[in-house]
Structure 1
Amino acid sequence: MIFGNEIEGEVTRGARALVLCPDFRAQRQAQDPHARLEEAKGLALAIGIVVAEGMIIPIRERRPGTLFGEGQIERIAAACEQEEVELVIIDGALSPIQQRNLEQKLRRKVIDRTGLILEIFGERASTAEGRLQVELAHLDYQQSRLVRSWTHLERQRGGFGFLGGPGETQIEADRRMIRDRMGRLRRELESVTRTRGLHRERRQRAPWPVIALVGYTNAGKSTLFNRLTGSQVMAEDLLFATLDPTLRQISLPGIDKAILSDTVGFISHLPTQLVAAFKATLEEVISADLLVHVRDIAHPETDTQRADVEAVLKDIGVEEDTPRIEVWNKLDLLDEDTRTELLGRTEHSDSTVVISALTGEGIDTLTARMAGLLTKAHRRYRIVLDLSDGAGAAWLHQHGEVLEQQIEEDTAIYEVRMAPQDHERFLTRFGDKPAS
């Protein structure tokens, strides 16, 4: 319903939407517009919106006030009436003025890609930290958009109110509320970051390596996480099924204990507000001993998705020399010829493994490669202990790979492979004695 220049009413789950994918002809875009449109539809479905129609709109020149030309807007308006949609989703970035003008011309709610992704994150974040991060990102995005309707901060529902609101009122008061609230959120997140940093330091003092699963959203990270840990983390054929980081203990060949981290999926044009807000979470990736980049190898845009993930990793400060493995997932979706070709290409690779996290095919190869990279810097040591030193023997078995063990009178001689820093820690704690 229209009141003056404002668009009122709730548009929530079950709303019918028109999804538009601008195709900028003057720009060379890495992703095919049809693939971009399908991804945008997937984002809408992830928030429970009914996609009535999707359209690719060719654009030769951006219109600063509306993005689209007048003829295109008329065509879009006709489609809105024909499909009886309540919401128009633009798979791209809109300025606040463009958003307001399109709403007035189309007489519908209009949101852009950033707004849609933030809405998904707002609904999915389940931990206190996750909700703080998403709300901060939402406020950072929304503060420039008080030219249009604003949902007051006291209003609470699943998500953060891009899809509906009470109308444009008290703009200056709202701006002050936003600034004050953002200041409080940043202080709370700083406290969370310090706590997470202390936990990370404690893990780093322990001998357990940290492995971070990264990848494009819906590549299968959570399914792989569940396969490796025996957990039941939410894993669905859904964009952004996982937002909050999950840590679990796993065992690998020659490594008694490692920490596996499941992280939020990346996506092309990930909102800068979200990258900034989720910095505390993404630090788990930055400080990981091993990155496992999970790719949906059956996806037609898998190479473009890989480039998007690598770009985000670079943006958040991941060192290029951080050990990493590429996991080509969803082998079960490939035809026999493609399966055979990919398996042949990766058979002798230390950095690429083909798997199906769903069926378990290739998992043993993956765990062996992960262990191999984590233990690559390990050395072989000869350690002599008193036969009665059970604590020292247990420490060696827990923190290294015992290759050989001999008993000579009252001593035990071990051939152990371990990291040099673990060897130093062992000597500090237990000492060593010469062989007789």
Structure 2
Amino acid sequence: MLEIEKHTFERTAIVGIVTQNQNEEKLNEYLDELEFLTFTAGGEVVKRFSQKTDKPHPKTFVGTGKLEEIKTYIKEHDINSVIFDDELTPSQQKNITRELDCKVLDRTNLILDIFAQRAETSYARTQVELAQCQYLLPRLTGMWTHLERQRGGIGMRGPGETEIETDRRIVRDRISLLKEKIKVIDKQMSTQRGNRGAMVRVALVGYTNVGKSTLMNAVGKSEVFVENKLFATLDTTVRKTVIKNLPFLLSDTVGFIRKLPTQLVDSFKSTLDEVREADLLLHVVDISHPEFEDHIAAVNKILLDIKSADKPTIMVFNKIDAYKYVKIDENDETIEKTTKNFSLQDWERTWMSNLGENNTLFISATDKLNFEAFREKIYSAVREIHISRFPYNKFLYPDYKDVIENEDDEDENEDIE
């Protein structure tokens, strides 16, 4: 009988440093996230390495002694790859690879690899490939031997190009081609957004894996892909949604993350345009995560970078069914609670309720806890925007005799191509 081959995870080690700007507690938090990223990419973290230093070593990121320790460990324990928590310079990556004689990645490269795995549509694949090419260009060290080519023909004879020069030229040409392709798609998507008319646009934003797609499915009766891994959603999904006869467009966007590669921010411009052009943002937060405050700060920073921080925002603290601890007083006293004895009124007493200036909600998208209040809050916010746009709209005033009746569940939420 043939044996079924089981999926094997790639054995990896991860490396981080404690610096003046990053203490040991913060490093452990980042390494936890890096381990989750590694798992999402198909790896198994076997060992963590850390070192205290004022700043990264300019040649090898960590000191020579620590690098020798890593080298000894990977040889003795059959480690396939080593992943560094911060972005490595091209020279650092080259030196470390030569010393360790194994695959060396950094956080940026790992995130790009996950995006490449998750990209489903042609547009997403184009965006990811552009980001990968921009990342690889300064790191080419003759590793693409299959790209070595000579341009033959009249006037092209002579010493020719070296392999690395040829590789760089090919990658630059590919970057130019991808940029032109994205420009065409951007124009098409801009036209599509323009064709949606003046409907109110609501965008779900938040850290990766906070439950945006689950919330999208619950509100819009959609079937967006959901998985307990980072970056389960890359392509923006837009649904026409109706609450109390008031239609609006709801979009689920790619999740953000700390240390998000700049190449991805640039290449995913059109995806982020859904956020830029939204009338209302639903900032979803995983309240059960111990570092959700840092997640909020990371999302706010990216919103500031893409000039969307001043948009009307509703803070949605999700996963109240999964939390374990919560700070409930000014002395930072940590009290263990359970969903049975911690009510919504208790949540509203916490400092989180003041973050959204009266626009804060505590829900569970999975169990639909406090979901009616959530839908009512969205309806009120969308209605206010709608009234300012259409002062005499029939959907909003009961005096009109031709107010439409509720549509069937199957018909009231439509895909927007």
Name the TM tier (shorter chain). Answer: 0.7 to 0.9
Write the letter of the residue equivalent to 1:213. L
How high is the sequence identity, in percent, across the aligned residues?
A: 36
Match for 1:317 among 307, 310, 316?
307
Q: Secondary structure at the match of 2:47?
A: strand
Match for 2:55 among 58, 61, 78?
61
Compared with structure 1, are the counterparts of its residues 96 and 382 closer, same or farther at alpha carbon in structure 2 (3 Å cutoff)? closer
Partner of 1:176: 169
Match for 2:205 among 211, 214, 217?
214
Q: Could you tell me whether the CA contact under 8 Å between 2:225 and 2:232 is conserved in 1?
A: yes
Q: Could you tell me whether the CA contact under 8 Å between 2:279 and 2:312 is conserved in 1?
A: yes
Write the letter of the residue equivalent to 1:316. I
Q: Deviations over 1:232-282 (max 9, x none)?
A: 211111011111111111112351x11111110000010000000001110
Give the Cα–Cα distance (whole angstroms) in 1 for the partners of residues 390 and 103 of structure 2: 67
TM-score normalised by structure 2 residue count: 0.81
Give, in angstroms, the shift of residue 381 of structure 1.
Answer: 10
Return 5+ residue gaps in structure 1 as ranges: 1-11, 155-168, 384-395, 407-411, 415-436
Compared with structure 1, are the counterparts of its residues 230 and 379 closer, same or farther at alpha carbon in structure 2 (3 Å cutoff)? closer
Partner of 2:328: none
Q: Does 1:191 align with 2:184?
A: yes
Partner of 2:88: 94
Compared with structure 1, are the counterparts of its residues 198 and 354 closer, same or farther at alpha carbon in structure 2 (3 Å cutoff)? same
Partner of 2:194: 201
- Higher strand fraction (1 or 2): 1
Give the Cα–Cα distance (whole angstroms) in 2 for the partners of residues 217 and 280 of structure 1: 18
Q: Does 1:283 align with 2:273?
A: yes
Give the Cα–Cα distance (whole angstroms) in 2 for the partners of residues 297 and 116 of structure 1: 26
Give the Cα–Cα distance (whole angstroms) in 2 for the partners of residues 338 and 148 of structure 1: 60
Partner of 1:15: 10
Give the Cα–Cα distance (whole angstroms) in 2 for the partners of residues 371 and 382 of structure 1: 16
Give, in angstroms, the shift of residue 302 of structure 1.
Answer: 0.3
Give the Cα–Cα distance (whole angstroms) in 1 for the partners of residues 8 and 167 of structure 2: 26
TM-score normalised by structure 1 residue count: 0.78
Q: Deviations over 1:88-142 (max 9, x none)?
A: 0001110111111111111211000000000110111111110110000000000
Partner of 1:230: 221
Q: Secondary structure at the match of 1:376?
A: helix
Give, in angstroms, the shift of residue 22 of structure 1.
Answer: 2.1
Match for 2:244 among 228, 241, 253?
253
Return 5+ residue gaps in structure 2 as ranges: 1-6, 149-161, 324-337, 404-417
Write the letter of the residue equivalent to 1:369. K
Q: How many residues align?
A: 364
Q: Could you tell me whether the CA contact under 8 Å between 1:350 and 1:369 is conserved in 2?
A: no
Write the letter of the residue equivalent to 2:111. I
Give, in angstroms, the shift of residue 225 of structure 1.
Answer: 0.7
Q: Does 1:330 align with 2:319?
A: yes
Q: Could you tell me whether the CA contact under 8 Å between 1:15 and 1:50 is conserved in 2?
A: yes
Write the letter of the residue equivalent to 2:300. E
Partner of 2:29: 35
Q: Secondary structure at the match of 1:368?
A: helix
Give, in angstroms, the shift of residue 82 of structure 1.
Answer: 3.4
Give, in angstroms, the shift of residue 52 of structure 1.
Answer: 1.5
Partner of 2:158: none
Compared with structure 1, are the counterparts of its residues 13 and 57 closer, same or farther at alpha carbon in structure 2 (3 Å cutoff)? farther
Compared with structure 1, are the counterparts of its residues 273 and 381 closer, same or farther at alpha carbon in structure 2 (3 Å cutoff)? closer
Give, in angstroms, the shift of residue 404 of structure 1.
Answer: 2.9
Q: Could you tell me whether the CA contact under 8 Å between 1:53 and 1:83 is conserved in 2?
A: no
Write the letter of the residue equivalent to 1:237. N
Moved over 6 A (4+): 379-383
Give the Cα–Cα distance (whole angstroms) in 2 for the partners of residues 381 and 101 of structure 1: 62
Give the Cα–Cα distance (whole angstroms) in 2 for the partners of residues 149 and 333 of structure 1: 46
Partner of 1:160: none
Give the Cα–Cα distance (whole angstroms) in 2 for the partners of residues 240 and 217 of structure 1: 6
Write the letter of the residue equivalent to 2:101. R
Q: Does 1:359 align with 2:349?
A: no
Match for 2:347 among 342, 350, 353?
342
Give the Cα–Cα distance (whole angstroms) in 1 for the partners of residues 288 and 146 of structure 2: 43
Output the aligned Cα RMSD.
Answer: 2.6
Q: Does 1:242 align with 2:237?
A: no
Partner of 1:393: none
Partner of 1:145: 139
